Amino acid sequence: MSNFNRLERVLARFLSYFPGVKNTIKRIYQFINYYLYKKNYNHKVNYSLIEVSTSSQETFFGYYDKSPENIEGRYIIFQRTSLSTLKKPNSKYEIEIILKGNHTGTESVVGKSHAYNWQQGTKLQWISKNEFIYNFFDKKSNTYKSKVIDAVIQKEKQIINYPIYDCFKDEYALSLNFIRLNQLRPDYGYRNIDKEINYENNLDDGIFKINLKINTSKMILSIQDVINFSPVKTMTGAKHKLNHIMISPNGDEFIFMHRWLISGGKRFDRLFVCDQKGQNLKLISDEGMVSHCCWNGNNEIIGFLRQKSHGDSFYRINIRNNMIDLLSEKLLNYNDGHPSVFKNHMIFDSYPNRSRLKHLYIYNIVTNEVREIGEFYESLKYFNETRCDLHPKWNCDGKKIFIDSVHEGKRKLYKINIDS
């Protein structure tokens, strides 16, 4: 639950208008709180916690919307690095793509990449029961591309001439401009290409659809299309970006965030849904703040966002009738987290509290019950781009949860068995 009172939240929202000042005050406040409230343990878990890799190097998977485990539970994929993740990602250093046999325990290096970040890695993800894809930087063409690996033979199957962001099976992928993303939000961008972005030209940049079968790409939605949809005054002269694309379970639609930054760094958010052709664009949240979302079936989104009714909390959005309802009054006491749904259960995490402990919860959508799975320490050495959110993700049968954590002093991928 939240360790921060209402006054602190109000002050944080006010300081969001002054990002530079906010970051400085936030760091000082975190140090003071930690030394006042620090605990004598680095983690507590109510279930079995197992480190996925036997390597002494740092390992991680990335974001919360994909499972490291394939649909049959035979393999686990993740990333491994010899570079300390206390440092920012460095395009001169490559990270390894690791395939682990779940039953054999064998770990194999099946790829390498210079295009990565600590929050989402290389966008590593399964696209079929035996195939997965990840992004890499091609030095010869000076472009970002993606590579498909066959897990059975542990070899490259195909080079896709474009980077991917989210995939619908092995049929198509959606992507965006990682160069623009790196300049406006380096947490999620890649650092290999240093190129000036013309932020006044929003017609030639946007969301791209990649046909994975025939290796072609087409822009289906421009940033300008999104700006033109119910524009507001703060958009004029701002720097715009699109991010956090998530394709619906049936592949028919996708959600994404439109974010723009005005002079001084103040950020505004909107959430959209669109069909896979880039048509039928619909604005589904525009109250100024949208954080983390997930699909709950093909007709509903669950997300942490701002609404006039109850402020910042988890809401459920029916994308058919545009109804937005509070998910639960119980969750009003919880702060922002990364949600993911399996059947009637939603897992979500928290950012570090006063004691620098991040909490992991499971919420039963039907019974309205919240249970704590565990808490995990994050040192103050990790911050901004080097932070390590838990980013909890289900495996395909809902019996395991995977997390990235630094509670033992290194970034590691763990699995939590919740079968019982």
CATH number at residue 237: 2.120.10
Q: How confident is the model at residue 3 (pLDDT cuts 50, 70, 90)?
A: low
Q: How confident is the model at residue 26 (pLDDT cuts 50, 70, 90)?
A: confident
Instruction: Flag whether pLDDT at 140 surpasses 90.
Output: yes
Rounded-to-integer distance, Cα 4 and Cα 9, Å = 7
Instruction: Flag whether pLDDT at 308 surpasses 90.
Output: yes
Task: Tell me whether residue 408 is in a domain.
Answer: no
As for how many domains the chain has, the answer is 1
Rounded-to-integer distance, Cα 216 and Cα 415, Å = 36
- Average pLDDT (160-179) is 98
Instruction: Flag whether pLDDT at 339 surpasses 90.
Output: yes
Instruction: Flag whether pLDDT at 420 surpasses 70.
Output: no
What pLDDT does 190 receive? 98
Q: How confident is the model at residue 107 (pLDDT cuts 50, 70, 90)?
A: very high
Q: At what angle do helices 19-37 and 6-15 cross, to 10 degrees?
A: 150
Task: Tell me whether residue 368 is in a domain.
Answer: no
Task: Tell me whether residue 358 is in a domain.
Answer: no
Task: Tell me whether residue 126 is in a domain.
Answer: yes
- Flag the least confident range among 4-18, 90-104, 177-191, 248-262: 4-18
* DSSP letter for each residue of 89-130: P-TTS-EEEEEEETTT--EEEEEEES--BTTTBT--EESSSS
Q: Mean pLDDT for the chain?
A: 94
Q: How confident is the model at residue 11 (pLDDT cuts 50, 70, 90)?
A: low
Instruction: Flag whether pLDDT at 14 surpasses 80.
Output: no
- Average pLDDT (382-389) is 96
Instruction: Flag whether pLDDT at 189 surpasses 80.
Output: yes
Instruction: Flag whether pLDDT at 64 surpasses 80.
Output: yes
Instruction: Flag whether pLDDT at 106 surpasses 70.
Output: yes
Q: How confident is the model at residue 380 (pLDDT cuts 50, 70, 90)?
A: very high
Taking alpha carbons only, the member of 108, 142, 148, 145 closest to residue 125 is: 148
Task: Tell me whether residue 317 is in a domain.
Answer: yes
Task: Tell me whether residue 376 is in a domain.
Answer: no
Instruction: Flag whether pLDDT at 305 surpasses 90.
Output: yes
> How many beta carbons lie within 10 A of that of residue 382, not counting itself?
18
Q: CB under 8 Å, gap of 24 or more: what pairs does 297-306 form?
A: 297/249, 298/248, 298/249, 298/250, 298/252, 298/253, 301/255, 301/271, 301/273, 302/327, 302/339, 302/341, 302/346, 303/271, 303/339, 304/336, 304/337, 304/339, 305/271
Cβ-contact 375, 44 below 8 angstroms:
yes
Range of the structural domain that residue 189 is part of? 58-337
Q: What is the pLDDT of residues 248-289, one digit of tens each?
A: 999 999 999 999 999 888 999 999 999 999 999 999 999 989
Rounded-to-integer distance, Cα 93 and Cα 91, Å = 5
What pLDDT does 371 receive? 97
Instruction: Flag whether pLDDT at 2 surpasses 60.
Output: no
Residues in the chain: 420
Percent of the chain with pLDDT over 90: 90
Instruction: Flag whether pLDDT at 221 surpasses 90.
Output: yes
Q: How confident is the model at residue 419 (pLDDT cuts 50, 70, 90)?
A: confident
Cβ-contact 225, 281 below 8 angstroms:
yes
Q: How confident is the model at residue 25 (pLDDT cuts 50, 70, 90)?
A: confident
Q: How confident is the model at residue 13 (pLDDT cuts 50, 70, 90)?
A: low
Task: Tell me whether residue 13 is in a domain.
Answer: no
Task: Tell me whether residue 401 is in a domain.
Answer: no
- Average pLDDT (74-100) is 97
Rounded-to-integer distance, Cα 96 and Cα 134, Å = 11
